[in-house]
Amino acid sequence: MNILVYGLGAIGITFATFLKERGNSVYGKVKDKNFPKNLFIDGIWGEHSAELDGISDNILDFKDIDLDLIILAVKSYDTEKALNDIKKILKPNSIVLLTQNGYGNYELAVKIIGKEHTLLGRVIFGAKVIDKGKVRITVNADDVRIGQPDNAIDKKIILDIVEKINKSGIPASYSPDVYKILWDKILYNCALNPLGAILECSYGELADNKNSRIIMNKIIEEIFLVAKLNNIQLNWDNAEEYIDFFYNKLVPPTRNHFPSMYYDIQTGKKTEIDALNGAIVKLAEKVGIKAPTNETIVNLIKFKEIRRDS
């Protein structure tokens, strides 16, 4: 396959390295034209390395390549710009796989490039950049789940892509209900990620404290109401059912984990709050209600970003 990975951060480098190792032609779209072509991975999936077929900061450098798959691996706040870039080089049979966190990426892709080109992926392995072009895989909670929420792409095409990713060494599976599965991750992230960043503590500390549990429960309850009023189907019948699963099954394996937003704020990076709790606030406004706990969380994260940058 001819594959372009748009965005060589931790997730992008992981996909690019594994897929190139298996003999695919892999290219990288980067912001820094001096980004290395040689990529390295270590961690729980072993040591891997690959030299990409090409790297550029200019999307038009890839226009003459018949790309089978474009893996979009930028932060959610860069999604719209990236999709407009991709639109310039998209071929009739090119498929774009979204791998970002949060709500709104799929909706943007459908609007800009069309659902017939768009696959939704839920990525839940943990990876961190340890140096330029070097990534460490730290945890894998589940397969990369891949599907087309509107059944707009032939199942055989999706299964072929899933197989290629699986054979590369990244566990992946076909999931027609990928949209619901992505919302599982949105729920989890909205409840834990920003609050842990605000209070500068681990997920276990949040779960152990009755005061932070009250806040997390409110975040979850608001999301269930907002989803229901927006006709978004979740994997859980009600907030109480999810909350029980959340504390008893989801949090314990990640008790010692510090949220990505905590590290974003510490290292001067922009957070993805607008695609998480911020998206819940907008979806609430869309149906004429408020999501006050989620809105407070958004404002507190933005306060920390502004204070850090001032």
Which of residues 176, 194, 221 is at a domain's end? 176
Split into its structural domains, the chain has a count of: 2
Residues 202 and 255 in one domain: yes
Q: Which two tokens stand for residue 39?
A: 């990529």
Which of residues 148, 176, 204 is at a domain's end? 176
Residues 18 and 149 in one domain: yes
The whole-number pLDDT of residue 281 equals: 99
Residues 172 and 203 in one domain: no
Q: Measured between alpha carbons, how far is 27 from 270 in angstroms, rounded to an integer?
A: 26
Sign of CA dihedral 306, 307, 308, 310: positive
Q: Measured between alpha carbons, how far is 125 from 123 in angstroms, rounded to an integer?
A: 6
How are beta strands 144-147 and 118-122 bridged, if at all?
Answer: antiparallel
**Block mean pLDDT (10 aa), the chain, length 310:** 97 98 98 94 97 98 98 96 98 97 96 98 90 91 94 98 98 97 95 97 96 99 98 96 95 87 91 97 98 99 91
Which of residues 145, 176, 207 is at a domain's end? 176
Domain that holds residue 96: 2-176
Given the residues 185, 228, 290, 302, select the one marked as catalytic: 185
Residues 110 and 233 in one domain: no
The whole-number pLDDT of residue 124 equals: 87
Which residue from 133, 164, 176 is spatially nearest to 41, judged by alpha carbons? 133
The whole-number pLDDT of residue 142 equals: 87
Residues in Cβ contact with 145 at an 8 Å cutoff, skipping those fewer than 6 apart:
121, 122, 172, 173, 175, 178, 181, 182
Long-range contacts made by residues 262-270, C-beta under 8 angstroms, separation at least 24? 262/196, 262/197, 262/200, 264/197, 265/197, 265/301, 265/304, 265/305, 265/308, 268/308, 268/309, 270/75, 270/77, 270/305
The whole-number pLDDT of residue 257 equals: 85
For position 61, which CATH number holds?
A: 3.40.50.720
Residues 102 and 126 in one domain: yes
Residues 273 and 221 in one domain: yes
Residues 90 and 204 in one domain: no
DSSP code string of 104-157? SHHHHHHHHT-GGGEEEEE--EEEEEEETTEEEEEEE-SPEEEE-TT--S-HHH
The whole-number pLDDT of residue 38 equals: 97
37 is catalytic: no
The whole-number pLDDT of residue 309 equals: 86
The whole-number pLDDT of residue 138 equals: 87
